[in-house]
A and B are shown apart, each in its own frame.
Chain A
């Protein structure tokens, strides 16, 4: 059985048709351009030579897969092609996908993709990221999601800096019908979070979602402020924050790696929310981040509606990327 069939049958077994449809629709643009290009490439080159590899490199880079990751990948692929003595580009297709999936999965089990929600007691989730990636929106969607799962949720308006940020979170709070703890604009974010933890404890809330102001990762002062917020949470509840989610914009290029690295240094990021994946952005950055920093993606934003925040499913994500190839009639 070929690799594609294996992957495909895995989906059928797992009864994940519905999930993969969502991904397929959401990632329509990505999929078309990405796997379309690989197919195109294979059709044009019959021989596996240097030019072929160079162009493959370009296809991957155009998907915003990090340059280093691509180089490693191409090296591995070259080795594999030599080992198996592959001369025909049609055959190399299987190897390409296999290797890409390898990067996705790495050595991790799939458990890390779920949120670390405490059985009893308060779960605190801190949400961080640069400006304009969609932190507040993601929190709104996450609140909606958790509430649907039967959890009681509270939001902390920790973005006291940007104009209209508190109001924006309040609107999401109303939509999801959850309480929002806030102070005036300009107040100390650590103090807001502190208050929110007190409130969440006394009201016996299950999950507290903490919003923070967007900040560019090279602003040392602002990154220190974030560490302080985290320390406050740690002090109030041992073991918290149970999750630190870094929100990344899928249209971001190589800088996303720098973001993941720097935010991890100051707040120990436990997972990534990849937003705006419903445009033509490729999301290839996920590959690079997993490959180079081993931070898992937990959620992806596939649209503007509250329910458009989907749990990241590596299988479905890969399936979305390669759906064109999978649906082709197989020769064997």
Chain B
């Protein structure tokens, strides 16, 4: 990742303070400056940052920090609590009208991902809520926008209502509702054209659609990578349309996503869903607390644990934990774990969730190509039992044999051996962390690959 997390930023200041044993005004000032920079680098709007810093200062200067043995951790905790509070609780409910169909309108800037999100939302409604949505193509401006929705519709095997590019979007929306009633669809998802929030004509058009179809939900779709301008965009859309919720897209990228915080702060509207990939089932409920961690660069430990719990066998995990503690982890275990980890989803996603993982030397340049896993498996399977148990016996001729057996090269074998070594070191760190003073240590019941 391109930016340092808050924890790294605070490191030097904290070091000095722990030496001193007492926190001065000046120290707090320096720390809040670092917090401010961390938030700004995460694209949180500077006004929102200002308010936050003020509140954090008030809390931090108080006794909480003074009495604490590790003021740095305390400060991070305060910051995270403030962020989480600002972001509000989890809100991923979708309105249900007592007089169907329930109408949902999707709005936003160009390229935010409205059409894709419309498809994903329709998929979610059918899969999770057992509904039958009708998709409506109201983007008559962008070339091939209607085809895009129609393609998504056919991928999902769902009907798409369109009237070509000559019709008026207000009429399209109106007719779509009539059609939904006739054909007994219980949800209508209206995909609108992307527009700038300062384009008065097109904003007017949205108001007209709203007045005509009287939607139960208006979702503002926002790109998670948006910078300081997110505030202006969200404010304008909210003022003119009174949106009911926000969908944050492209969160599977490496952006910190400070825009989430800004939007919540200026509109007070909850972020309901997050787009996590290009596939149509990659729309997830939005977790404010996890987002707070991400903005601060603390890694998404919660999601990681949840994913691990869902796919790791408890007994096996316990066994592995012991092995990790006693550093008797072998290539056999590695192979077994690979199978389990594979169940958890794309590797690069997992790695991004581990705090500090991007800092590990050697791990940094590991290419997380799923196909490489196949190679890794082949390499391990070409090892003898002895080699798997104790990689230190490895010599040039053994490596040559393994490379030949697995259809790879010696350098690939070397690379794996090196990575295995790095991983063992990392596990040691993790187990130490777990054994450490904090009672709520992070459980690590699987290998991080």
Contact = CB atoms under 8 A, between A and B. Distances in A.
A240 to B, nearest CB: 26
A61 B41 CA distance: 9
Interface string A276-303: 1011111001000000000000000000
B3 A282 contact: no
B426 interface: no
B151 interface: yes
A130 B225 contact: yes
B2 interface: yes
A164 B41 contact: no
A171 B144 contact: yes
Interface in B206-247: 223, 225-230, 232-233
A217 interface: yes
Nearest to B142: A168
B112 interface: yes
B368 interface: yes
A27 to B, nearest CB: 12
B359 to A, nearest CB: 16
Contacts of B253: 130, 216-218, 255
Interface stretch (B166-174, B180-188, B255-263, B433-441): B255-263
A140 B143 CA distance: 10
A121 interface: no
B229 A64 contact: yes
Contacts of B223: 132, 249, 251-252
Residue among B2, B50, B230 with the highest chain A CB neighbour number at 10 A = B2
Contacts of A63: 228
Nearest to A249: B111
A163 interface: yes
A172 B113 CA distance: 20
A29 B198 CA distance: 9
Interface stretch (A4-12, A74-82, A219-227): A219-227
Contacts of A132: 110-113, 223, 250
A64 B231 CA distance: 12
Interface string B355-387: 000000000000111100000000000000000
B348 interface: yes
A276 B111 CA distance: 10
A58 interface: yes
A216 B254 contact: yes
A285 B348 contact: no
Contacts of A171: 143-144
A137 B194 CA distance: 13
B145 interface: yes
Contacts of B147: 163-164, 167-168
A300 B253 CA distance: 24
A258 B3 CA distance: 9
Contacts of A22: none
A267 B18 CA distance: 46
A220 B259 CA distance: 25
B163 interface: no
Contacts of A256: 225, 227
B124 interface: no
A107 to B, nearest CB: 24
Nearest to A280: B232
Given A258-B254, A278-B196, A61 B151 contact: no
A253 B348 contact: no
Contact of A251 (B40, B46, B229, B250): B229
A216 B41 CA distance: 19
B299 to A, nearest CB: 15
B144 A280 contact: no
A280 B197 contact: yes
Interface residues of A, number: 50
Nearest to B227: A253
A261 interface: yes
B254 A58 contact: no
Interface in A128-173: 130-134, 137, 140, 161-165, 167-168, 170-172
B252 A251 contact: no
Nearest to B196: A279
A62 B348 contact: no
B37 interface: yes
B348 A279 contact: no
Contacts of B1: 258
A130 B111 CA distance: 10
B152 interface: yes
A248 to B, nearest CB: 10
B252 A216 contact: yes
Contact of A130 (B148, B232, B250): B250
Contacts of B148: 162-165, 167-168
A257 interface: yes
A253 B225 contact: yes
B133 to A, nearest CB: 17
B143 A285 contact: no
A209 to B, nearest CB: 15
Contacts of A62: 45-46, 228
B392 interface: no
Interface string B156-181: 00000000000000000000000000
A67 interface: yes
A219 B225 contact: no
Contact of A216 (B115, B145, B155, B250): B250
A219 to B, nearest CB: 7
B113 A167 contact: no
A218 B346 CA distance: 12
A253 B196 contact: no
A256 B43 CA distance: 11
A67 B46 CA distance: 11
A258 B143 CA distance: 29
Nearest to B226: A251
A244 B163 CA distance: 38
Contacts of A257: 2
A64 B370 contact: no
A285 B196 CA distance: 19
A252 B225 contact: yes
A254 interface: yes
A61 B113 contact: no
Nearest to B253: A216
Nearest to A215: B278
A220 B349 CA distance: 11
A164 B144 contact: yes
Contacts of A280: 197-198, 229, 232-233
A279 B254 contact: no
* A167, A219, A251, A257: most-surrounded residue (chain B CB, <10 A): A251
B40 A67 contact: yes
6 contacts: A162-B278, A164-B147, A170-B144, A216-B254, A251-B226, A251-B233
Given A64-B228, A167-B144, A276-B109, 10 more contacts: A132-B250, A162-B148, A164-B115, A251-B223, A252-B227, A254-B42, A261-B2, A276-B110, A279-B197, A279-B229
Interface of A: 29, 58, 61-64, 67, 130-134, 137, 140, 161-165, 167-168, 170-172, 185, 216-221, 224, 249, 251-258, 261, 276, 278-282, 285, 304
